[in-house]
Amino acid sequence: MIRRIAIALVIVGVIVGTLATVKYMQIRTLIAAGQAYAPPPETISTALVEPQRWQSVLSAIGSITTFQGVTVTVDLPGTVREIAFESGATVKAGDLLVRLTTSTEEAQLRAVEAQVALARVSLERAAALRKESMVSQAEMDAADATLKQTEAEAAVIRAAIEKKHIRAPFDGRLGIRLVNLGEYLDVGKPIVSLQSLSPVHCEFSLPQQEISRLQPGMTVRVTTDAYPDREFQGKLTAINPQLNASTRSLRLQATFENKDEALRPGMFARAEVLLGDERPVLVVPATAILSAPYGDSVFVVENGTNAPGAEPTLVARQQFVRTGQSRGAYITVESGLEAGATVASSGLLKLRPGTTVVVNNELKPPSAVAPGLSDG
């Protein structure tokens, strides 16, 4: 009985040992395979870190404002008799916009004009009698004063009639009509917005330490989100003599011709004042910069460590940088890179430090230092 138990224990031990050996070999094989596994390389495009000379600029955020802009309102109350414009139309100074009912004033004017005629006749009669000394000089003066008074009353009524013919005060483009035919309008009731869109201004602010570098006539570039591939060039036309006491900033105004009326009042704008000097910079495509809360970085593409006889490989190394001024599709790198280095310009989200990469620049979009300039 004891012999059978011993034999059974030996058999069980052999089986357990065999299973343990097999499992150990399997785990060892898996570990070796995992260590030997290399992920397939990621396909990216690259760009060189290029040295260039860029003109120094002062950058700011601003808003487009109109050269002239008003909301046309009513000076005297009345009922709309005629609307002589269409929403969005272009008008010239003096063009009729709205005509209010003037029947009462016209009737009053006819009555006063009759009084003017009578006063003129009375004055002529008094003048004739005065030559013959049949009336006194006081009566002559009274007749003259009566004529002038009635003429002034007629002028007041004509002015009231003219104020009910509401006209464009200057050339510009109209907004959306705010009144309807037959509507009664009180004093100050808005009728339509009128904006002069050529030229326009861009107003922005710069820190007080830049005062010594600014002077009227400098070139100003503006870009907007509405036209991301276009730059507008204008001139710095006004520098506010007083600084903002709260922010210690200086308010400036640039003027743009805006012949095609692309810039509209109220637009958000990024303004750059071009200074006279140029400085050497290192530039990379803006798509090469990986922004994160802890700082900006790029992936430098360089040769990997290869085993003897193996094919050469490229790997991505993450490098933190300090960026500076941007222009068009490029951005300057103030520190962290050297001229001639190769950086990844697309596919950055797929990369990790040490990732093997394959370069394919055939699909890389073209870049430009600055979009096409405009006379705007």
What pLDDT shows up at residue 314?
86
**Please, which pLDDT band fits residue 150 given cuts at 50, 70 and 90?**
very high
Contacts of 253 (CB under 8 A, 6+ apart): 201, 202, 203, 236, 237, 238, 239, 240
Residues 23-65 pLDDT 10s: 877 777 777 656 655 567 888 888 899 898 887 888 899 999 9
Give residue 173's pLDDT.
92
- Residue of 304 and 334 predicted with greater confidence: 334
pLDDT, residue 72, reads: 94
Domains and CATH numbers, the chain: 46-65+195-374 (2.40.30.170), 75-194 (2.40.50.100)
Which residues lie below 8 Å from residue 346, measured CB to CB, with a gap of 6+?
Answer: 44, 45, 287, 364
Question: Could you tell me if 233 and 376 are in contact, meaning their C-beta atoms sit under 8 angstroms apart?
Answer: yes
Confidence of residue 14 (pLDDT cuts 50, 70, 90): confident
With contact defined as beta carbons under 8 Å apart, do 374 and 230 qualify?
yes
Q: What is the pLDDT of residue 270?
A: 92
Write down the pLDDT at residue 375: 39
* Across 257-267, average pLDDT: 91
Q: Whole-model pTM?
A: 0.61
The DSSP secondary-structure symbol of 365 reads P
- CA 111 – CA 154 distance, rounded (Å): 9
| Residue recorded with tokens 């009698």 | 129
Q: Is 202 exposed, middle or buried (0-12, 13-18, 19+ CB in 10 A)?
A: buried
Give dist(CA 318, CA 302) in Å, integer.
Answer: 11
Distance between CA atoms of residues 230 and 311, nearest Å: 45
Closest Cα partner for 139 from 128, 150, 149? 128
pLDDT tens digits for range 168-224? 999 999 999 999 999 999 999 999 999 998 899 999 999 998 898 899 999 999 999
